[in-house]
């Protein structure tokens, strides 16, 4: 019997050792699967989250800004004071006043500075997060989280055995996995390291890591991590991660300014941001918020004040504001700004430009959504000083290669090249005050007869060269080139367009912009042209009032005369639209005396319609006009003084 007893003891001991080793290996493997070190780096730091690495934003004296854009940008800055406080101080000092000519615009009367954007700590695409240390998180959030999600949080060791037993009984009754009994620590571990897969193995791993982090970090640091890492849904195409992003996106406030009932709404959303989405499932969210708020009152976490509870009008106003913002997409523009690493523009200028692109896309969507897939509308922008190689570029399709889109992909340039062509006509002895016939003209090409089309109707029999350029007429270009001789025109154009199809007398449509250039190629063409044209003016080879640069500097006289607003009407800048390929390619090229700007708005999807119905004056120029007007910088008036020789 002693031999059997010894054998049984040895067997049990070996089994215990094997189980211990197995548990050790399981725990070790589980911990190795997680990135505890990354969590430790975040929650053991102590710092002021309202400090930014970006330089101060300065709105220049004499400039304009759009109030809504300034408000949304300011919301995401490191400023602790509210936008209302900022505006009250600025108005009181006279630094900012309303522009009466255009409602919604603000006039900057002397320089105004404030802190720049907070960083985006979320590494996922289309996601915003800014980490807040525990001392910066209002108690309504962590108290509410404990009261609603894990009442025994302060007493358990990462796993709540009572909750687990209750969940086990419930699952046994229903014969399916309906409850998990997870603590706040377990939910944090699941969100950070595991999936939502409902399996026993995943649950066991979750418990192991939860117990481990409870032994490693203080309770308040686990709460801090949870409230910074949890997903709070998505608005404007951007995922919200953490309490700061949820406060900004849902209520347009920093967490410190959130009211008790707004806090109850945010805590209620945690149970299922999609299930309780305010724009899709409002009634569910209303019921959930009421339940959460009553629970917080019972736990004495918030005051028992019925006046704090939202009425239906409050819910209606809130959802109306969210719907408006969903269309405007300011917060997506903030994300794109933070995702843009080009150093040549300030963050505020980037934000305004990106928002103006979003505005144009929104207008196109409202007008043409039933005719074609407006998702495939793309916008490309290049701008920078003529005297520098530091150019800013933007392409709204972040999923595609921007460098390739700007330097390799070509589009028909349309009428954008007409200023260069008329300058060549002047070089060949013509004057801009001469007259040209507007009648139809037909050329006999080897491929057959060709007649250029004209977009304008009821034209006078004759127009001056200047009027032909201002109205961007087609027939006069071909008639003048034919009179001068296509070989002579070709010789003058070759330095600008090395890939010009020749002989030009067989490819006259090249003069009307049928040639294709990339954004960077057209930029180089215009940089060369403006330097050359300004050089002629400085050397007295051409009078300023006869230069195409000067003739196209008054927007009230050009193809944008119906689109230019009352502010930009008073300014002078060289600009030329281009609409070609039946509206699939729309351009605006501009020069303000310092910066060249090129904007292309076009369609990059399958072309199923004959005409797109878009124009350079209502798309590309719209981006240019609103950006330069609202960017918080004074407008550089046109001239050749700053152009290098």
Cα 514 to the center of its chain, rounded Å? 32
Which range marks the domain in which residue 82 is found? 57-114
Q: State pLDDT tens for residues 526-540.
A: 999 999 999 999 999
Distances from the Cα of 131 to the Cα of 227, 235, 248, angstroms: 9, 19, 13
- pLDDT band for position 165 (cuts 50, 70, 90): low
- Look at residue 187 in the predicted model and tell me its pLDDT: 82
Q: State pLDDT tens for residues 488-532.
A: 999 999 999 999 999 999 999 999 999 999 999 999 999 999 999
**How much is the mean pLDDT over the chain?**
89
- pLDDT band for position 81 (cuts 50, 70, 90): very high
Structure-token pair, residue 40: 């430790």
User: What mean pLDDT is predicted for residues 121-126?
Assistant: 92
Which residues contact residue 591 at a Cβ distance below 8 angstroms, ignoring those fewer than 6 apart?
Answer: 386, 526, 530, 549, 573, 574, 575, 597, 638
Shared domain check, 107 and 25: no
- Radius of gyration over every alpha carbon of the chain, rounded to an integer in angstroms: 33
Three-class secondary structure assignment of 392-448: EEEECCCCCCHHHHHHCCCEECHHHHHHHHHHHHHHCCCCCCCEEECCCCCEEECCE
Shared domain check, 594 and 528: yes
Shared domain check, 64 and 26: no
Q: State pLDDT tens for residues 405-420.
A: 999 999 999 999 999 9
Give me the number of domains the chain comprises: 3
Shared domain check, 99 and 12: no
Query: Burial code of 87-109, b = ≥16 C-beta within 10 A, e = fewer?
Result: beebeeeebbeebeeeeebbbbe
For the chain, percent of residues with pLDDT exceeding 90:
68
Q: Flag whether 141 is in a domain.
A: no
Q: State pLDDT tens for residues 57-66.
A: 999 999 999 9
Which residues contact residue 253 at a Cβ distance below 8 angstroms, ignoring those fewer than 6 apart?
Answer: 75, 82, 247, 262
- pLDDT band for position 24 (cuts 50, 70, 90): very low
Of 283, 281, 262, nearest in space to 273 by CA: 281
Q: Flag whether 164 is in a domain.
A: no
Evaluate whether 263 touches 138 at the Cβ level (below 8 Å): yes
Q: Is the pLDDT of residue 34 over 70?
A: no
Shared domain check, 395 and 431: yes
- Look at residue 184 in the predicted model and tell me its pLDDT: 79
Q: Flag whether 260 is in a domain.
A: no
Question: How many other CB atoms sit within 10 Å of the CB of residue 358?
Answer: 21
- pLDDT band for position 119 (cuts 50, 70, 90): very high
Q: Flag whether 209 is in a domain.
A: no
- Look at residue 578 in the predicted model and tell me its pLDDT: 95
User: What mean pLDDT is predicted for residues 599-619?
Assistant: 88
User: What mean pLDDT is predicted for residues 234-257?
Assistant: 96
Evaluate whether 69 touches 78 at the Cβ level (below 8 Å): no
Q: Flag whether 554 is in a domain.
A: yes
Most confident of 35-39, 174-178, 351-355: 351-355
User: What mean pLDDT is predicted for residues 425-441?
Assistant: 96
Shared domain check, 105 and 6: no
Decide which of 590 and 581 is more confident: 590
> Residue 598 in 3-state DSSP?
strand
- Look at residue 47 in the predicted model and tell me its pLDDT: 77
Shared domain check, 102 and 16: no
Evaluate whether 232 touches 271 at the Cβ level (below 8 Å): no
Shared domain check, 583 and 505: yes
- CATH number of the domain that residue 577 is part of: 3.40.710.10
Q: State pLDDT tens for residues 298-328.
A: 988 888 888 899 999 999 999 999 999 999 9
- Look at residue 38 in the predicted model and tell me its pLDDT: 66
Per mean pLDDT, which range of 260-269, 350-359, 535-544 is the poorest?
535-544
- Look at residue 169 in the predicted model and tell me its pLDDT: 56
- Look at residue 13 in the predicted model and tell me its pLDDT: 62
Of 124, 122, 128, nearest in space to 247 by CA: 128
Shared domain check, 463 and 383: yes
Structure-token pair, residue 522: 């057209």
Shared domain check, 603 and 501: yes
Q: Flag whether 258 is in a domain.
A: no
- Look at residue 214 in the predicted model and tell me its pLDDT: 81
- pLDDT band for position 595 (cuts 50, 70, 90): very high
- pLDDT band for position 9 (cuts 50, 70, 90): low
Q: Flag whether 641 is in a domain.
A: no
Q: What is the pTM of this model?
A: 0.90
- Look at residue 388 in the predicted model and tell me its pLDDT: 78
Cα–Cα dist 106/99, whole Å? 5
Structure-token pair, residue 217: 């970090």
User: What mean pLDDT is predicted for residues 46-56?
Assistant: 87
Q: Flag whether 251 is in a domain.
A: no
Shared domain check, 395 and 474: yes
Distances from the Cα of 160 to the Cα of 167, 168, 173, 249, angstroms: 11, 12, 20, 33
Evaluate whether 630 touches 65 at the Cβ level (below 8 Å): yes
Cα–Cα dist 387/407, whole Å? 20
Shared domain check, 94 and 10: no
């Amino acid at each position: 019997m002693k031999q059997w007893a010894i054998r049984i003891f040895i067997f049990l001991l070996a089994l215990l050792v094997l189980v211990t080793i197995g548990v050790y290996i399981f725990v070790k493997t589980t911990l190795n699967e997680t990135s505890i070190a990354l969590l430790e780096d975040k929650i053991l730091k102590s710092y002021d989250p309202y400090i930014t690495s970006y330089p101060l934003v300065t709105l220049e004296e004499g400039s304009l800004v759009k109030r809504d854009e300034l408000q949304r940008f300011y919301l995401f800055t490191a400023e602790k004071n509210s936008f209302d406080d900022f505006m009250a101080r600025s108005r009181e000092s006279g630094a900012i006043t309303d522009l009466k000519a255009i409602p919604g615009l603000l006039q900057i009367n002397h320089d105004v500075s404030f802190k720049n954007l907070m960083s985006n700590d979320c590494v996922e695409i289309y996601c915003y997060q800014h980490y807040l240390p525990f001392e910066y998180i209002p108690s309504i959030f962590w108290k509410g989280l404990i009261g609603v999600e894990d009442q025994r949080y302060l007493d358990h060791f990462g796993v709540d055995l009572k909750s687990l037993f209750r969940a086990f009984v419930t699952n046994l009754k229903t014969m399916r996995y309906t409850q998990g009994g997870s603590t706040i620590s377990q939910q944090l571990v699941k969100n950070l390291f595991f999936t939502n897969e409902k399996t026993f193995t995943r649950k066991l791993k979750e418990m192991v890591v939860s117990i481990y982090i409870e032994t490693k970090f203080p309770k308040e640091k686990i709460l801090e991590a949870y409230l910074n890492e949890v997903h709070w849904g998505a608005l404007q195409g951007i995922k919200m991660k953490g309490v700061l992003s949820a406060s900004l996106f849902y209520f347009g406030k920093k967490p410190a300014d959130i009211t008790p009932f707004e806090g109850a709404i945010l805590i209620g959303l945690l149970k299922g941001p999609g299930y309780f989405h305010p724009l899709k499932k409002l009634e569910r969210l209303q019921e959930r918020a009421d339940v959460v708020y009553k629970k917080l009152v019972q736990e004495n976490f918030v005051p028992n004040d019925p006046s704090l509870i939202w009425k239906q009008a409050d819910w209606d106003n809130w959802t109306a504001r969210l719907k408006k913002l969903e269309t405007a997409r300011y917060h997506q523009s903030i994300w794109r700004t933070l995702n843009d690493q080009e150093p040549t523009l300030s963050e505020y200028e980037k934000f305004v430009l990106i928002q103006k692109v979003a505005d144009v896309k929104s207008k196109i969507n409202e007008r043409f959504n039933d005719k074609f897939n407006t998702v495939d509308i793309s916008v490309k922008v290049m701008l920078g000083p003529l005297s520098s190689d530091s150019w800013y570029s933007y392409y709204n399709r972040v999923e595609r290669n921007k460098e390739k889109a700007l330097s390799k992909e070509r589009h028909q340039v349309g009428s954008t090249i007409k200023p260069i062509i008329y300058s060549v006509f002047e070089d060949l002895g013509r004057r801009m005050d001469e007259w040209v016939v507007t009648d139809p003209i037909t050329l006999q090409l080897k491929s057959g007869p060709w007649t250029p089309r004209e977009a304008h109707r009821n034209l006078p029999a004759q127009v001056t060269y200047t009027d032909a350029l201002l109205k961007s007429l087609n027939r006069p270009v071909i008639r003048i080139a034919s009179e001068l001789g296509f070989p002579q025109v070709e010789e003058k154009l070759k330095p600008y367009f090395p890939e010009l199809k020749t002989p030009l007398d067989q490819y006259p449509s090249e003069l009307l912009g049928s040639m294709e250039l990339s954004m960077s190629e057209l930029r180089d063409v215009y940089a060369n042209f403006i330097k050359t044209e300004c050089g002629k003016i400085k050397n007295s080879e051409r009078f300023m009032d006869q230069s195409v640069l000067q003739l196209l500097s008054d927007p009230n006289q050009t193809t944008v005369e119906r689109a230019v607003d009352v502010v930009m009407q008073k300014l002078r800048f060289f600009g030329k639209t281009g609409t070609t390929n039946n509206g699939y390619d729309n351009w605006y090229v501009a020069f303000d005396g310092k910066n060249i700007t090129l904007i292309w708005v076009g369609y990059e999807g399958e072309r199923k319609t004959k005409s797109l119905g878009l124009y350079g004056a209502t798309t590309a120029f719209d981006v240019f006009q609103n950006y330069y007007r609202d960017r918080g910088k004074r407008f550089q008036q046109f001239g050749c003084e700053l152009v290098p020789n």
